[in-house]
Amino acid sequence: MKIIPNNHVFLKPDLNFVDQLYPFLEGTIISPIDRHLMHCTILYSDKPLENFVPSEALYSAKILGAEYWYDKYAQTTDLILHIDSPALLQRQQDIMREYGVDSVYDTPYFHIGVSYNVPPKSEKYRRAFNSFTNMVNDFFRGKVINLSHEAIGSSAGFLQVKQSMINPTSTETTTRDNPNLNT
């Protein structure tokens, strides 16, 4: 597995919000990610961001709802909270312009991951998912949350990566294997 160094820019949701969210997951078959690893990706860039300087800004986002999301690069289906924020879109565009990188995704789809690589939509999981999304949508949809503590990490997944991006003496192309967050 090859990792693109310093290409994943993300924000952390307010921990008070995360603490409010977790009771909706207790007693379900949904396996949430660790509350301290929850994040919202601003950008997965196609190459490393050299000398990246994280913003100290506080961003706000409106919760649109809970849903399944298929990540075509990681090739996983994840349970997410879809969010909307013009400020996040502006931040993404500013980073791409300032550092001369592009996003690996064609269209921004800002979200907070709740559970990665969820099982197939069997009846058992569909009931748990529907119960979770209904509760979350009733309680959180339309609410505004805060995101901060911008950071950068390295990502892995199924994106084609030129080895020369990692090791300038090589021209080998490899495939990233896993959408892990290395922070």
Max mean pLDDT range (2-11, 20-29, 60-69, 162-171): 60-69
What is the total residue count of the chain? 183
**76, β-bridge pairs:** 71
Query: 90 lies in which domain range?
Result: 4-182
Mean of the per-residue pLDDT values of the chain: 80
Residue 102 is part of a domain; what is its CATH number? 3.90.1140
Residue 58 has pLDDT above 60, yes or no: yes
Closest by CA position to 109, among listed 42, 47, 9, 12:
42
Q: Which of 27-41, 42-56, 99-113, 150-164 has the lowest mean pLDDT?
A: 150-164
Give 29's contacts (C-beta < 8 A, 6+ positions apart).
Answer: 124, 125, 128
Residue pair 44/110 in contact by the 8 Å Cβ criterion: no
For the cut 70, the answer to whether the pLDDT of residue 141 exceeds it is yes
Residue 15 has pLDDT above 70, yes or no: yes
How many whole angstroms separate alpha carbon 137 and alpha carbon 140? 5
Q: Measured between alpha carbons, how far is residue 153 from residues 3, 5, 17 in Å? A: 10, 7, 23
Reduced to 3 states, what is the DSSP secondary structure of residue 125?
A: helix
Question: In this model, does residue 53 exceed pLDDT 90?
Answer: yes
Rounded distance between C-alpha atoms, residue 148 and residue 165, angstroms? 29
Indicate whether 70 pLDDT > 60.
Answer: yes
Q: Over 80: is that where the pLDDT of 120 sits?
A: no
Mean pLDDT of 68-72: 84
pLDDT at 127 over 60: yes
State how far the Cα of 112 lies from the Cα of 114, in Å rounded to an integer.
Answer: 6
The number of folded domains in the chain is 1
Would you state the structure tokens that stand for residue 160, as one six-digit string? Answer: 């084609």
Mean pLDDT is lowest, of 91-105, 107-121, 140-154, for 107-121
Do 5 and 168 touch, CB atoms closer than 8 A? no
- What is the pLDDT, as a whole number, of residue 142? 96
**Cβ–Cβ < 8 Å for 60, 86:** no
